[in-house]
Structure 1
Amino acid sequence: MKQLIINADDYGLCKTVNQSVRNLFHNGLLTSASLMSPAPAAHEGVELALHDSKMKLGLHLTFTSEWPNYKWRSLSYSKELEVEGFLPRRVQNCNEKSIIKHEICQQYNFMFNRGIIPNHLDDHMFALNSHYDIIVPFCFEKKLKIRFPKKNSLKGMTEDNMNIIRENIAMYHLPCIDYLKKYPIHFTEDTSYEKFKIIFLDFLKRLDHGVTEIYMHPADLTLELKNICHSRACLKRYYEYRLLQDEDLAKTLEQENINLIGWENIS
């Protein structure tokens, strides 16, 4: 059996992303989203989800702020985690585990204290790779499922690192997925929507049996988004937003006997 979670990372980034994700839960094929608690529109994102039973949220653990003109701080306001008053472009090395743990708790509590219990934890910009020894036990403590694949490799991670993290996850008996996938396309400003759709649908036809998550960053194309992201990133997010409402995607899922599920179905 082929089962598929389609997750929207970066929920809470801005109002455009929040409204786009909400629309896709109602009018598209999105089955999951994960909140960036430190991001500027996270509070609005939580409020939307609190009053909408179709929206299922995980925690998108965030230790970076990578857009040059759109920044945010850590929720713990920790100088050890920040550069020039904001979270950095890449995950910083921090040897103080208590500081990392405190920030993770702050991001979790941002949701929990506002009435939302995350249904899983995933990471922004490979935070798990740097802090797995803190994140995995935290997931066990909070009874959180964790986004990490049992079977496939991930770009930027060695097989040794993958196995160490898998061993930690297994030791704590955390529910996770079989495969974590990113569709194989190199975006340029000349990439057409039709080309993107063909590549994505072909990618779906080659999914393995088991539980796969495909993570995306869907958003409508607005002036707000254009002011945050560079043009290629805007185009990519917009194409994902269109695709998740495209009838051809629904038809391909049906033809390939791929069942859409959410993290609430993982045990």
Structure 2
Amino acid sequence: MNKALLFLIGFIPTLAFAQNSEASYAEKLGYPKGKKVLIIHVDDVGMSYESNQGAIKAIREGVANSLSVMMPCGWVPGFVNYWKENKDIDAGLHLTMTSEWKDYRWGPLAGKTNVKGLTDSQGAMWRGVADVVKNASPDEVETEIRAQLDRARTMGFEPTHLDSHMGTLFATPEFLERYLKVGMEEKIPVMFPGGHNTAIQAEEKMIADRFEMTQKVGKQLWAAGLPVLDDLENSSYGWKGPENGDKSEKALQQYKTAKYIAALGKLKPGLTMVIMHCTIHTEIFPKISDSWPTREGDFLAMIDPELKKYIEKEGIVLTTWREAMQRRQKVK
């Protein structure tokens, strides 16, 4: 899902971690030293009814504690209407520049005539990140980012943070610059791992100088008064299900819970955002996407008592983007 993010961030050498003696961003925000501090985050809210219910239930009945909304999608009003009566939910914008499914599509909120490079022959957004890079200008990307933020605010929804659907805003330095620019100008935290980045390093090896870039961006965001992630755990979308093909709820839950426990066990101390996609089971969602097993598995893992027990036993601290920003505002 976030190949673009990995491409831009690049390979982070182990030696860089050993040489970095600075306090983590979690410590700078006042979280306990040496603790794993997690934002357990659900993407793709607003995309469908199932996505809305999966995210809400994962937070209300499970250990998830944050989410982000795809503003161009059809089920956004359904979530925002719920959020207006439940504003304790930590909800940001999943800034969306692509429309990847075959039979379920959406277009840009800025309008086709204003962002022609973001639309395909059907008038919808491009299906893939590469097509956005090939056809869209940084100005068009920024225009669409601001249109999505404007729609949220028009609906009375003030986001706690910004992040990027399919990692599109990390696909080029120019796109990333506009994403960071809007966040800093609007004083809205942005998803960007600017710390030790251990989990990303373990996911895919790439060139070393990209690590220095993440450090510079992290310091820039911090100087702008925003909280910064120490790391990002983004591997769950690739956990497709048990090797034997069993897609029963019990099998999916056991498989995904075990995967999350293993992933959390490998994390280093600091503020880490753990990304997932949660949907409840219906007959409709498989018509949208064949990704339903991993999404249902994520939801089932979030409400699994075994995962909650593990988090409590390990003394893992759970937080939100809202709390991180509140803490950042208190740091001089």
Normalised TM-score (structure 1) = 0.91
Equivalent residue pairs, number: 265
1:60-209 to structure 2, matched below 5 A, reads 60-77=94-111, 78-84=115-121, 85-91=123-129, 92-93=132-133, 94=135, 96-129=137-170, 130=172, 131-150=175-194, 151-152=196-197, 153=200, 158-161=207-210, 163-164=212-213, 166-172=215-221, 173=223, 174-183=226-235, 186-188=239-241, 190=245, 192-193=251-252, 194-209=254-269
Q: CA deviation at 1:127?
A: 1.9
Alpha-carbon distance in structure 2 between the residues aligned to 1:142 and 1:10: 22
| Alignment-derived partner of residue 5 in structure 2 | none
Q: Which has the higher Rg, Structure 1 or Structure 2?
A: 2
Cα deviations across residues 183-219 of structure 1 (Å, max 9, x unaligned)?
4664257163223322221222222111111110011
**Matched residue type, 1:146:** V
Structure 1, unpaired ranges of 5+: none
Q: CA deviation at 1:113?
A: 1.5
Alpha-carbon distance in structure 2 between the residues aligned to 1:134 and 1:116: 22
Normalised TM-score (structure 2) = 0.74
Structure 2, unpaired ranges of 5+: 1-34
Q: CA deviation at 1:166?
A: 4.4
SS of 2:92's partner is strand
Q: Please provide the CA RMSD for this pair.
A: 2.0
Q: Which has the higher helix share?
A: 2
Alpha-carbon distance in structure 2 between the residues aligned to 1:265 and 1:227: 37
Q: CA deviation at 1:226?
A: 1.1
Alpha-carbon distance in structure 1 between the residues aligned to 2:207 and 2:164: 17
Cα distance 1:220–1:114, how it changes in 2: closer, same or farther (>3 A)?
Answer: same
| Alignment-derived partner of residue 211 in structure 1 | 271
Alpha-carbon distance in structure 2 between the residues aligned to 1:72 and 1:216: 22
Cα deviations across residues 96-137 of structure 1 (Å, max 9, x unaligned)?
433222111111111112112111111011122131111111
Q: Which shows bigger deviation, 27-36 or 192-201?
A: 192-201
Contact 1:132–1:165 at 8 Å: present in 2 too? no
Contact 2:239–2:294 at 8 Å: present in 1 too? no
SS of 1:72's partner is coil
Alpha-carbon distance in structure 1 between the residues aligned to 2:96 and 2:211: 20
| Alignment-derived partner of residue 54 in structure 1 | 88
